[in-house]
Every structure is written in structure tokens, then in C-alpha cells.
Structure 1
């Protein structure tokens, strides 16, 4: 099994994610269907014999936005410590899981600041840019957002977080003999579509301007790790098997 890993969880469905509106600073809740789907994801992917094993998590990073924080709550990891926010909804029943990882809210993984493009769709952005005499073929990975963040801004903050994860949580455990008693090494990040796709690009050393050829659906989970158990060979884990005991 590839390890240690970073699990990327995009927040569940919102009204704006449904309509294609760019949602950065605006703090809107999950839809009822979004909540149901995240609960189902937690039931399917979280557990001692599942993709995300709560007691193997070393640290958890969550966006400052309530939609990401509620998504984390609905995964129902069984965190033992206090959350750094007031719970946003009904508390789920105990699922018999235990997670001792600390939950940290960080601005480094908040969504891309869309600036003037907040709350509007890509076709609307192109229409506005045409009226302004700008290039019609707008690409956020190349052009960024007027009044918001550029690809260089995003690169700076996700690179900072990647460096912290590798140095603090992954270096102590990667490539060590399995016979050693090692601390947990997996990291969970709950955030947003564009910033998590940018994070994955930078994880494997790609420039944002190259643009990702992959998607992360609302409520979806992605996995990053390393090839050959080598900290210098970061990789995107396209698929992993559940771990089942003898």
C-alpha cells in the first residue's frame, strides 16, 4: 500500500456548485443532497478496513469556509479532540471510530479568491472579458482572476502547505522499516475544487499554467502519495485497494 498519503476531500454540493457559479469567499451551506452524499462517502471510505483509516491520520487541515467544515463533520472520523469551530449542524451518531489527529483551520487551503468573478459562471466571465477587450478564452490556470488571485499567488500558498506536510508529517515515517513502531503519517485536507486541483498539480511539481487534466467532484476524494516510498518521488494515486485483515 502506498504510504504515507494525503487525502484531498472537496466539500459537498452547494447551490452554487450545482449552477457552476465560482464560490470563493462566499460562505454558503451544503444542500440537503450534498449532506446525504458526504455521509455516504464517509460510510464507504472511512474505517479501519477502508481507504481512510482514522487512527492512521497524523494531521487534518480544513478550509475556513463552513461548507468545508460541515463536510469534515459529516465524514464522521471520530475525532477525539475539540474542533476549532462551533459545530455547523446535527452531530452524527458514534460510528465506533477513533481519530487522534489534530484538526487545523488554515487560510493556505481556502478556495481561490475569484475577485471580480465571484458568484458568476465561466460563460458569464467570458462575456464580461469580451466587453472589456480581454482575451475571450479565459483560463483560470493561466490568467487568474481580476481583483482576486493569480496562479502565482496560489502556487505560493499551496507550496507552503506541501512543504509543511512533507517535513512535519511525512519525512518521519516514509521509507522506514515496517518493523519499526512508527507514528501515523497520513494527512487529510478538506477544502475546495480549484485549490485542491492546484494542490495536486504542485504536489507532483507541475506548473499551474499547465492546467490539470483531472476533475474533483463535489464531495469527491482524491489521494496523493509517493512512488517507491521515496519523498523525492511524489505521485498522484489513481486508485488504491481497501486493506483487509487476515
Structure 2
């Protein structure tokens, strides 16, 4: 059967993501353009012959922040159970993509807690640190955030959810022969820029301090999987193709 995957979806554009302000606990809405782009992503990437096949999803994790939850709404999945939050906007017209996976809101995939750096840009952070006698060459992956989370704090909670995904959703299906109707194994994670980049680093076994610099645009989608159908060989899927029937 196909090797299970994790799809990482960053919430759509907000006013603060446009301006480069660090947005952790502050809950601001998507911009109209952000909503439009997420809808387009759903139409392009979600479907029976697309990257994300709803019926192959085993579980869906969503951040507790409204901007991430609204992003999930705009992808237009028709989940069997009611969502664990009240809708943050109008429901999309027409039938959504039927999906049997349960949607779970988890604190483990909330955005990095920026502490004293909430709502300010990287240049402003460096200026503040200079006045405090700290190094101006601030790097969140190395230095963390004063009054907020350190890289070790973030690593701990990201590792926890990765372990759960591998133990609970991927181990039962990976490398198993296809017989009848195999259970779904893909997982969808809808969250934020820094935490999803940290997730990808830890998925690949890299430390936050030493790993490569991954980028994920607002409203973007990333894919993680395994090499050789082996759960001991986690990998980042750089690109995939649409499924085309012969």
C-alpha cells in the first residue's frame, strides 16, 4: 500500500504575516486575500486525484488558534463528526470533500510562544536585544524568545506529536501488504510557520539549531513521508505528482 504521509498546512495570510510581525498567542483573522488563496489551495490540492486524498486521511491535527482553524474550514473537508470549534466564518457553498478522519485541536502544534517578541519584527527584535546588551545576531532556532519558548521547549512538544503520529497512525499501515481495503494512514496538520518548520526538522532527525533553513509560505503545503516504505527512514518529500489514471 502507499507509504503514509504527513501534510503540513500553514494558515493563510494575516496582516501580521504580511508585515513580518511574530504572531504567537495573538489571534488575528486571515486577510480576504488569505482566504481566497486557501480556497484555491483546497481546490487544487484536495480531492480523489490530488495530493491530499480525503478518504486516505487517518487523523487531522489543528492548532487552537482561530487563523489555523479558519484555514482548515476553507480547505472544505466534509468531516463526519462536527468540528471541535464554532465556525469562524461562512461555510463554503457546495459539498465538501468527504473525509472520515477525526479533527483534533492540540496545544502541541500551536505556534512558538514568542514571549517578549510577540507582535514585533525580526529587525525590531535585534534592536531591542542590542539595547539589552544581548547579541544582535538573534536566531530563533538558536536563541529562542525572551519570556517565551526556547528551542528545547518547542522540540519537546513537536517530538511528542511526531511520536504519536508514528505510533498511532503510521506504524499500523507502513510496510504492510495491501489486502482488501487497507485503513487510511495519511495525517493532516494545520498550524503555523515556525512550529511547522520545527516539525519538519525534527521529522528528519535534525536539531532546530543545526538543521537546514526550511521555508513555508502562508497558506503553503508541505509533505513528509518515509524512504523505502520504512518507518525508520523518515524523509521530506520535495515534490509529488497528481495521480493520473492509466
Q: By the TM > 0.5 criterion, same fold?
A: yes
Structure 1 CA distance for aligned equivalents of residues 156 and 18 of structure 2: 29
Tell me which residue corresponds to 1:228. Answer: 228
Structure 1 CA distance for aligned equivalents of residues 187 and 31 of structure 2: 27
1:118 aligned onto 2:104: no
- Residues 1-246 of structure 1 aligned to structure 2 (within 5 Å): 3-95=3-95, 97-246=97-246
The 3-state SS of whatever aligns with 2:104 is strand
Mapped contact 2:58–2:185 kept (Cα < 8 A): yes
Structure 2 CA distance for aligned equivalents of residues 11 and 136 of structure 1: 29
The 3-state SS of whatever aligns with 1:98 is strand
5+ long unaligned stretches in structure 2: none
Structure 1 stretch 24-33 or stretch 94-103: which is displaced more?
94-103
Mapped contact 1:2–1:227 kept (Cα < 8 A): no
Matched residue pairs, number? 246
Q: Which runs of 4+ in 1 moved over 3 A?
A: none
The TM-score with structure 1 as length reference comes to 0.98
Mapped contact 1:10–1:192 kept (Cα < 8 A): yes
Structure 2 CA distance for aligned equivalents of residues 97 and 17 of structure 1: 28
Structure 1 stretch 72-81 or stretch 150-159: which is displaced more?
72-81
Mapped contact 1:6–1:224 kept (Cα < 8 A): yes
Q: After superposition, give the CA deviation of every residue in 1:183-216 in whole Å (9 maximum; x if it has no partner).
A: 0000000000000000000001100011432200
The TM-score with structure 2 as length reference comes to 0.98
Distance 1:211 1:129, change over 3 A: farther
Q: Give the RMSD, CA atoms, in angstroms.
A: 1.1
Structure 1 CA distance for aligned equivalents of residues 213 and 16 of structure 2: 22
